[in-house]
Amino acid sequence: MRVLGLLFLLCSLTEAGVSVSQRRKVVQSVNIRRNASSDSTPLQVGNGNFAFGADVTGLQTFKPYGILSSWCWHNFSLPTTINQTSVDDYTGVQWWTHGRLVTYAQPNPAQDDISTWLIKNPKRVNIGNVGFTFGRDNVIEADLKQKTQLLDLWSGKLSSSFVFNGSAVEVETSVDPDSDTVGISVESSLLKSGLGLFFDFPFPDNNKFNAPFVGVFNATSEHSTSLERISAHSATIKHSLGQTTYFTTITWEGGGTVSGPAAGTHRYFFTGSSSRLQLNVAFSPSPPPKVRGLLKVARASREWWESFWAAGAFIDLSAVKAENATELQRRIIVSQYLLAVNSASNNPPQESGLVNNGWYGKFHLEMNIWNSLPFARWGHFPLLWRSLPDMYSRFLQSSLDRARFQGYEGARWSKMTDPTGRSAPGEINSLLIWQQPHPMYFAEIEYRSFPNATTLSRWDKILTVTADFMASFAFFNTTTGVYDLGPPIYPVSENTNPNVTLNPTFELAYWRFGLDVATRWKTRQGLSVPTTWTTVRDKLAPLPVVDGTYAVYEGIRGMWTDNATTNDHPAMAGIYGLLPPPASGPPLDEAVLRKTAGKIKELWALEESYGWDFSMLAMNSLRLGDVEQAVEYLLHPIFQFDDAGYPVGGSRVPTPYFPNAASLLLATAMMAGGWDGAEGKHFPKGWDVEVEGFLPAM
C-alpha cells in the first residue's frame, strides 16, 4: 500500500491537474436554472447537516419544501395499550436459527402497538417554512411574472427574481457552512408596500414516506409555538411538539418587526421598512445566545463552496464532444453538490437526504457504503469524518448488546436505524447482513489515503468487534465441512425466502473481504490475529455456481429461468466491481463472471431495480474491461436524474434517492483512477478526459 500511495503521489505531481479556474468553468457550466417551481424537487442550499429547499421564489412561498436537519427528530406519544407502554416492553420475535431460538427485532403480532410505534418513531422533523407574503391573500405562482432562478453550484447561492404587480423582486438564498442558518437577501420597492415574509411550523405525520413535502400545517392544536424574545433586530420563536422543542431565531438589518401567530395557525410575519432586506433565520435545539450583528452567510457559503470545489478530486469531460459525456459531467458535478448538501452529516445519510423523508427519515446502515464512501473516493475525507467512525462508536453498545442477546460474539450492526442506534422492527431489517463488513471497507479505503498509526488505531476496536460477530455468525456445517451464512437471512436482494436463503454470493464474498481486512489490520499493527477469523475465512462455503454463473444464493430454484430470481439487486455483479477480487481463498472464475454479467444484461428486470444497481453493474463492466458497457449502464434510460440533478427514485421509491447519485460517483471514480492492477483512466475510446486526485479503487 505504501508503495502504491507513493506511486500515486508521483503521478499526481506529474499529472497536469485541473486548475481552479477550469474547475469553476466546469462546475458553473451545469448550474441549475428554473423559471417555475417543480412539483417534485426543490432547489437546495445547505451544509450536510441542514438544508433549505426552495421553490421558484427562492423561499417556500408556494411549495412547502422542507427545511431538514440532522438533529431535529420527534416521537409521537407511546401507546397506552397494557404491557406496551414502553420500549422496554417490546420483545421482538423468536425464529429457529440453526437449531436454537434467536430473538429478532421484528414486529410482534402480540405487541402490534409498540412494534408499530418503534418503526415509526422517532421521525425526522421539517423544522419550518419561510415564504413571501404579498400584502393580499390568494396570490398564486402564476401571478408572478418573469420568474428566473439560478443555483450557482460554485458558491452555493440561489438567486431568484420575479415581478409582482409591476415591481421586480430579487432574492438571494444561501446557508451557513457552520450553523443551521439560512441567509436571505431581498431587494424590491415592494418591501415598503406589502411584501414581507412568513414563517410557519408544520406538525409531523405518521407516513413512511413524506414526499415531496414533509409535515402538515393544519394540525395546529397538536403543537404550540410562541414568540419568546423580540428586539429591534431579532426575534426568537419557540416550537414545542411533545418532547421536542427547538428555536427559530430571525435576525435582520435595518427596520422591521416580527408578529404573530395569525389566529388558528403557527404562522408568523416579518414586515420591513426599506427596499433592501438582509435577514437570517437560524434554527437550534436550545435557546440561542443573544445575537451580535448579522452573520454574513452568503460570504461564508461562497468561501466554503469554493474551497470544496478547489479541493478534492475532479473529472473534466468538457473536451469530449459527445452528448453522453456532457450528461455524465452534469451528473458528476451536481451529484457532488447534492451529496455535500444532503449527506455530509453527523449521522449516516438518509436515502432522501434532507429533501424529504423516506422511511420516516431514518437511515439504513447497509446503504451507507453508497451514501458515504464517495466523500472518501473523491478526496473529501473531512465530510466523511463527520459521521465515521464516530457513528460506529455511538452505536457500539447497542450492537454489542444485540449480538450477545442473540448468542453471538462481537457487534451486530443494525439496518434501519435512528440516532439512538435502535433497530426499527422489521423482518428484512433484522435479517439483512451485508451492512456488517462495511466498517472494513471504510477503514481500508481510509488507510489507502492515510496509511498511518492514527488510522489503524481509530478503526481497530470497531473492526475487531465487527469481525468477531462475522466469525461467530457463520455456522459450521458438519455435513459439508464449511461455514455457511444463513438461513435465516436476507441477501442484498431483499426478495428471497429468508428461511431457505443460504450462502448468497455477495455476502460470502463480502464476509471473506471483511475478514481479510480485519486480519490485515491486526498484522499491520503487529498484533495477533484471532484464529476464529482465519478459520472461518478459510473454510467459508464456496460461491454458489449455477449453469456457469454466480447464483443469488446456494440452492436457489429457477435461477435465470424463473423471473422471480432476476429481480431486485443483481448483487452477484458486486463481487467484482464494488468489491475487489478476493485476497484469500480460491480466485474468481473469469468465465463465470462474464457469463453472469451477460445473463444479467439479458434477463434482469432492470425496470424494477433501484438506481444504484446501474452503478454496481457499471463497476462490474469496468473490471471486465467493457468501458462502453459501463457508460451505457450509467446512462441507462431508467437511471434518471431530473433537471436539477436529483436522482429519480424510479418504480420503487420517491425522488430523490441519493444512493443513485452516490453510486454514480463511485463508478466514475473508478473510471478516473482505475483499480489495483489497472490504475489510471478508463474512459471510452477517443474521450479526452482530464482527471485529478483519484486513488485507484481496491
Ligand X SMILES: *[C@@H]1O[C@H](CO)[C@@H](O)[C@H](O)[C@H]1NC(C)=O
The residue ranges that bind ligand X (CB under 6 A) are: 35, 73-75, 82-83, 87, 95-96, 121-122, 135-136, 165-166, 194, 216, 218-219, 243-244, 322-324, 420, 446, 450, 452, 454-455, 477, 479-480, 497, 499, 554, 563-564, 567, 605, 628, 631-632, 684
Considering beta carbons, is residue 79 or 183 the nearer one to ligand X?
79
Give min distance, CB of 480 to ligand X, in A: 4
Q: Minimum distance from CB of 414 to ligand X (Å)?
A: 14
Grid coordinates representing 92 are 421482538
Alpha carbons 115 and 430: distance in angstroms, whole number: 13
Residue 235 or residue 396: which is nearer to ligand X going by CB?
396
Which CB sits closer to ligand X, 83 or 397?
83
Three cell numbers, residue 368: 451507507
Burial 540-556 (b: 16+ CB within 10 A, else e): bbebbbbeebbbbbbeb
Q: Is the peptide bond before 696 cis (omega within 30 degrees of 0)?
A: no
216 or 529, CB closer to ligand X? 216
Per DSSP, which regions of 358-511 are E strands? 363-364, 416-417, 475-477, 482-484
* Distance, CA of 582 to CA of 58 (rounded, Å): 50
CB of 110 to ligand X, least distance (A): 7
If DSSP codes are grouped into helix, strand and coil, which group holds residue 658?
coil
Q: Which grid cell sits at 604?
A: 434482469
Closer of 240 and 243 to ligand X (Cβ): 243
Q: Which residues of 484-500 are buried (b: 16+ CB within 10 A; e: fewer)?
A: bbbbbbbbbbeebebee
474 or 593: CB nearest ligand X:
474
Minimal CB distance residue for ligand X: 450
Min dist. Cβ of residue 450 to ligand X (A) = 3
Closest distance of CB 365 from ligand X, Å: 18
In whole angstroms, give the CA distance from residue 676 to residue 416.
33
Cell, residue 133 = 407574503
Find the shortest distance in angstroms from Cβ 11 to ligand X. 19
CB 302 to ligand X: min, Å: 25
* Residue 19 C-beta: closest distance to ligand X, Å: 26
58: left (phi over 0), alpha (psi -120 to 50) or beta: left
Determine whether 139 is exposed, middle or buried from the number of CB atoms within 10 Å of its CB (0-12, 13-18, 19+): middle
Closer to ligand X at the Cβ: 203 or 469? Answer: 203
Cell numbers of 572, please? 452477484
| Nearer to ligand X (CB atom), residue 102 or residue 230 | 102
Are the CB atoms for 486 and 502 separated by under 8 Å?
A: yes
- Minimal distance in Å, beta carbon 435 to ligand X? 21
**Of the candidates 45, 697, 32, 30, the residue with the CA atom closest to the CA atom of residue 316:** 30
Complex with ligand X: residue 231 or 497, whichever CB lies closer: 497
Region for 627 from its dihedrals, namely left if φ exceeds 0, alpha if ψ lies in -120 to 50, beta otherwise: alpha
Least Å distance, CB 92 to ligand X, is 12
183 vs 693 by CB, closer to ligand X:
693
Q: What is the CA radius of gyration of the chain?
A: 26
- 3-state class (DSSP) for residue 222: helix
